[in-house]
Structure 1
Amino acid sequence: MATAGAEQTGQRSDSSIWTLVVVALATFMLMLDLTVVNVALPDIRAAFDSSFSSLQWILDAYALGLAAVLLAAGSLADRIGRKKVFDAGLVIFVLASLACGLAPNDLTLIVARLVQGLGGAILFAVGPALLGHEFRGKDRGMAFGVFGGVAGLAIAFGPLIGGGLTESLGWRWIFLINVPVTIAALAVGFLKMRESRSETPPPLDWPGMVTFSAGLFFLVLAFMRGQQDGWGSARIIGCFVVAILLLVAFAYLQLTRPGRAMFDLTLFGNKTFNGLSVVTALCALSVMPALFLLISYVQNLLGYSAFASGVRFLPLTLLLFVAAAVAGSLVAKLAPALLVGASQLLIAAGLFAVLLVDVGDSWTSLIPGMVLIGLGMGLFNPPRAAFSIAVTTPDKAGAASGINETFQQAGLAIGIAAVGAFFQNRVGGAFADTETAKAVFGDKAAEAGDAIAAGGPSVLTTNELGNAADAVRSAAESAFVSGLHNAMVLAAVLAAISGVIAFLTLRSRDLDEAALATPGVPTEAPTLDKAPVA
């Protein structure tokens, strides 16, 4: 077969190139929708009078939809055909994007974002598996370099693109822009992509999918509502209890039904796979909520417009793109522990650098943090995608990719909820403790603090405050920056832990040598102590 020949020799076919184009287009839209919404949130909040919790749900519903069916999507693709499942994901994604753009209220938008995430989950899970099937050796490094570069480009320029669309056409176009791009990807994929599937397809695990998705839903719901309902309230404690019971039931199902488990349990015998899964979750849990809060800082406290905010994030975005492009070529050259571990420590250093920001500073105080975060994120994305499928044989690539993407999206959903709730708590507490807040707002000081977390100090500085306006703004700015510092420290610690785990668990010998090897070059990948010296 031509496919087999291409795989053995490392040669590229027309189908391989078109597959890369389609996967890259889909990846661009998916990653764009993780960040493009951030800068439009103030406009969405104004249009629908949304609460801070609703704004978090607009972000989290997408991530939650992604996390819920990634494993099932990967398993289904291995079973009935990756191209068929990928095309189905494109159809779901484009219809949901249209619904987002036409949403009449924030509840409809949240539901549409959830469905959009379900379609995106299919594309996230199957895309890397399609690339893994089409490319080998040096070409695989090239393919995942492009994959990571495009993902980096979308994350990097998301704020700029979102800001431009929001200001010029309105916030609805950050979703409507997906429609023509998705239709083009669907047409090219239908005509040019080859079908592939596993010779020994795993069965679908419906009980596992239901318990995992429901457990994750209640876990995220508890984190998101904890600040408003009270962490000791019956509703929040009930959500945590239900989430734990469902996730325990899921674990039981996976252990007692190995032949039908949604998690391919054989993969968890691979130390590198386990380490990469944990690192992926921690990275998403730390850095994506941090970006959400940094964009909020630039818009809601410094007062920049959506487009102007995107421009000021160019130091992060450009370095992220460049680092992602370079990282693809390093996948087969550097030890996994060195490449992934270094990326996490760079992110941690960047998050700690945000502590340099103080009340009254300009946006340039963020530049050191932006540089480090951009480099770290760029270095992480291509090796994560490549190593996640290199830990197993090609016939299990969909399941392996689905598991890794599940860890990423679960980390993202929980991170936005948990770090967002922590930020809101810190801002509200810091503001409520000030003498100004007590004097002006009395018993409603904490409620005012929550409003500051959602929309910045400007939401309180109205003419109704009279002579107290300046004092209230000063207290609100201090509370906002204090909350930002606390949230960045939390995220930085998580990123640092992620880096340590990467250095301790990722091993070259756990990877499929044929998957990463360059034709004509010995297949042994460098270990950490043999890694090339720059």
Structure 2
Amino acid sequence: MSAENPSAAAATGGSARGWTLALACVAMFMLMLDVTVVNVALQHLRETLDAGFSDLQWVIDSYTLTLAAFLLTGGSLADRLGRKRVFSTGLVLFTLSSLAAGLAQDVLTLNLARGVQGIGAAVLFSVGPALIGNEFRGADRGKAFGVFGGIAGLALALGPLIGGLLTDSLGWRWIFLVNVPIGVIALLIGLAKLNESREQVPYGIDWLGMITFGLGLALLVLGFLRAESSGWTSAPILGAFAGGVLLLVLFVVVELRRGEAAMFDLSLLRIRTFSGVCLATLLSNATSLAAVFLQISYVQNVLGYSPWETGLRFMPMMITLFIVAAITGGALASVQPGVLIGASIAFIAVGMGLITLVEPGSDWTAMLPSMIVTGIGMGLFNPPRAAITIGVVRPEKAGMASGMGETFQQVGVAVGVAAFGALFHHKVVAAFAASTAGSALGAQAEPVGRTVAVSGTGALAQAVPADSLAGVTDAARSAFVGALGDVMVWCAVIAAVGAVIGFVFIHRRDLHESARSDAGAPTAPVAA
């Protein structure tokens, strides 16, 4: 296959840049929206499909598992088979599986559809930044990633609002069906407007690497997802962790033997900036997303707001995130990337620490300082994180680098939510059992404490006698707020470690020349 004419390619690429950014943002909006809207509809799903607690867990977990397992695979395949082709395939998978989920008549069909939806999401997550990186250079690339990061934050904010609106007005099926017309339109535009680009290589697909990495990561993520409910030292969980580690070790051995034919270039890990941004991403997402989920639980389960009302109250954080992300994109060309990454995670750490201002009798407005400062940090973080991850490699390998960066991001979320969720659960139960009202319940103190950790104070009326409800509610609220503050302090400390990594390890000198160039025009894409 011959390369196209460079000047013609550059002209075509210039006209396609806006479409590329728009489609990547639309895909990201759908994906981030899908992360949050499902949580709003779980109660409706349980009633409609007669689903049990384990079934509802799999509605979330099946998507999370396949999403994490296929991120690196999707990026690597895009580099070899063509980013436009693989991105379009991801859109098809995500759209068709959304249709299947929306039409599901039983929970098994829904969970299978969610698993396929996770595969499509993984492809879009990993290929979207690579498409942007292929079309944009220098300062323009930074601005593009600023918009891209802002849209992701906006989708995260609107998720509960849109999910609550669709579920209440049209039914839970529409949280999936709404993706279908958007996906079809995006697919048609992508086929017509996107440029094709890929790495010209003489070797085929690394099937063994794909299998060992995907299965290994899926087992690790499954262990973290189910450890709290099954027991961290139970045989299934220990088996999942052990199997995941063994498969990932085998993956490293396979990749070392395949050399240039490997799906992941292990030499990237020797680049301080790449390793630094991956570790910073892991720690940032493990803490910030866990913090947001726990804060949402507080607003809904303790303060008693509906999903719609909760979403409205988190808008200050997400609007701040959107504005800061858009502004940050323009600073990537002039500010050292390590300074941006380090400062962003430092803001996140300070923001999580400010949650200690919340007291048992506080209203939601006590969270505003934490929301605003955390939103600044998250807005600062996303644009440089995405740009640096693909910036350390030549454009032909952007998909692989993006896939690995997104893998660290999603694994961070899974590990953080599981680990900090378990710590929060333990602290709530211990604090409630040690309270005067808890001690008066005797053997029922721990079961009631577990109810408080999961459902807040809203479910206490069915769990305790009416004459002790007021005292138990006060003790439960104090235990919940105290545990939230303690866990947020731990999150802040660990995030601070991520900030130090950002300041020390990430340097512009490690970036590929295409990422350091100030030229606004893209180089010619490689023709398929």
Q: One fold, TM greater than 0.5?
A: yes
How many angstroms does 1:508 deviate by? 0.7
Corresponding residue for 1:510? 510
CA pair 56-282 structure 1, distance change in 2 beyond 3 A: farther
Letter in 2 for 1:467: D
Conserved 8 A contact 1:39-1:295: no
Cα deviation digits, residues 373-418 of structure 1 (max 9, x gap): 1111111111111111111111111111111111111212222222
More displaced stretch, 339-348 vs 28-37:
28-37
Please give the alpha-carbon distance, in whole angstroms, between the structure 1 residues aligned to 2:9 and 2:429.
Answer: 57
SS, match of residue 458 in structure 2: helix
Conserved 8 A contact 2:328-2:383: yes
CA pair 198-295 structure 1, distance change in 2 beyond 3 A: same
Corresponding residue for 2:427? 426
Cα deviation digits, residues 447-481 of structure 1 (max 9, x gap): 33332222221112238622121122222222222
Cα deviation digits, residues 117-166 of structure 1 (max 9, x gap): 21011111111111122222333233222212222221233233333333
Letter in 1 for 2:462: T
SS, match of residue 13 in structure 1: helix
CA pair 71-226 structure 1, distance change in 2 beyond 3 A: closer
Give runs of aligned pairs for residues 31-430 of structure 1, distance below 5 A: 31-41=32-42, 58-104=59-105, 108-200=109-201, 203-430=204-431
Please give the alpha-carbon distance, in whole angstroms, between the structure 1 residues aligned to 2:73 and 2:190.
Answer: 22
CA pair 514-228 structure 1, distance change in 2 beyond 3 A: closer
Please give the alpha-carbon distance, in whole angstroms, between the structure 1 residues aligned to 2:293 and 2:50.
Answer: 19
CA pair 283-104 structure 1, distance change in 2 beyond 3 A: farther
Conserved 8 A contact 2:61-2:225: no
Conserved 8 A contact 1:390-1:511: yes
Conserved 8 A contact 2:394-2:514: no
SS, match of residue 257 in structure 1: helix
Cα deviation digits, residues 235-254 of structure 1 (max 9, x gap): 33333222222222223323
CA pair 172-520 structure 1, distance change in 2 beyond 3 A: closer
Conserved 8 A contact 1:224-1:421: no
Q: Which runs of 5+ in 1 are unaligned?
A: 522-534
Corresponding residue for 2:526? none
Corresponding residue for 1:490? 490
Is 1:475 the counterpart of 2:481? The answer is no
Conserved 8 A contact 1:141-1:516: no
Conserved 8 A contact 2:138-2:520: no
How many angstroms does 1:43 deviate by? 5.2
Please give the alpha-carbon distance, in whole angstroms, between the structure 1 residues aligned to 2:170 and 2:149.
Answer: 29
Please give the alpha-carbon distance, in whole angstroms, between the structure 2 residues aligned to 1:387 and 1:172.
Answer: 38
How many angstroms does 1:275 deviate by? 0.5
Please give the alpha-carbon distance, in whole angstroms, between the structure 1 residues aligned to 2:452 and 2:340.
Answer: 39
How many angstroms does 1:103 deviate by? 4.4
Corresponding residue for 1:531? none
More displaced stretch, 126-135 vs 170-179:
170-179
Is 1:519 the counterpart of 2:512? The answer is no
Conserved 8 A contact 1:79-1:198: yes
Corresponding residue for 1:499? 499
SS, match of residue 393 in structure 2: coil
CA pair 311-6 structure 1, distance change in 2 beyond 3 A: farther
How many angstroms does 1:84 deviate by? 1.0
Cα deviation digits, residues 286-343 of structure 1 (max 9, x gap): 1112111111111111111111111111110110000110111111111011111111
Please give the alpha-carbon distance, in whole angstroms, between the structure 1 residues aligned to 2:494 and 2:110.
Answer: 31
CA pair 309-207 structure 1, distance change in 2 beyond 3 A: same
More displaced stretch, 157-166 vs 386-395:
157-166
Please give the alpha-carbon distance, in whole angstroms, between the structure 1 residues aligned to 2:361 and 2:285.
Answer: 30
Please give the alpha-carbon distance, in whole angstroms, between the structure 1 residues aligned to 2:510 and 2:451.
Answer: 49
How many angstroms does 1:26 deviate by? 0.5
CA pair 227-73 structure 1, distance change in 2 beyond 3 A: closer
Corresponding residue for 1:26? 27
Please give the alpha-carbon distance, in whole angstroms, between the structure 1 residues aligned to 2:135 and 2:79.
Answer: 14
How many angstroms does 1:45 deviate by? 6.1
How many angstroms does 1:191 deviate by? 1.6
Conserved 8 A contact 2:228-2:418: no
Q: Normalization by structure 2: what TM-score?
A: 0.90
Please give the alpha-carbon distance, in whole angstroms, between the structure 2 residues aligned to 1:146 and 1:329.
Answer: 10
Letter in 2 for 1:389: I
Please give the alpha-carbon distance, in whole angstroms, between the structure 1 residues aligned to 2:290 and 2:51.
Answer: 19
User: Over the residues paired in the alignment, what is the CA RMSD in angstroms?
Assistant: 2.7
Conserved 8 A contact 1:68-1:209: no
Identity of aligned residues (%): 51
Q: Which runs of 5+ in 2 are unaligned?
A: 522-528
Conserved 8 A contact 1:336-1:506: yes
Conserved 8 A contact 2:76-2:264: no
Please give the alpha-carbon distance, in whole angstroms, between the structure 2 residues aligned to 1:152 and 1:435.
Answer: 42
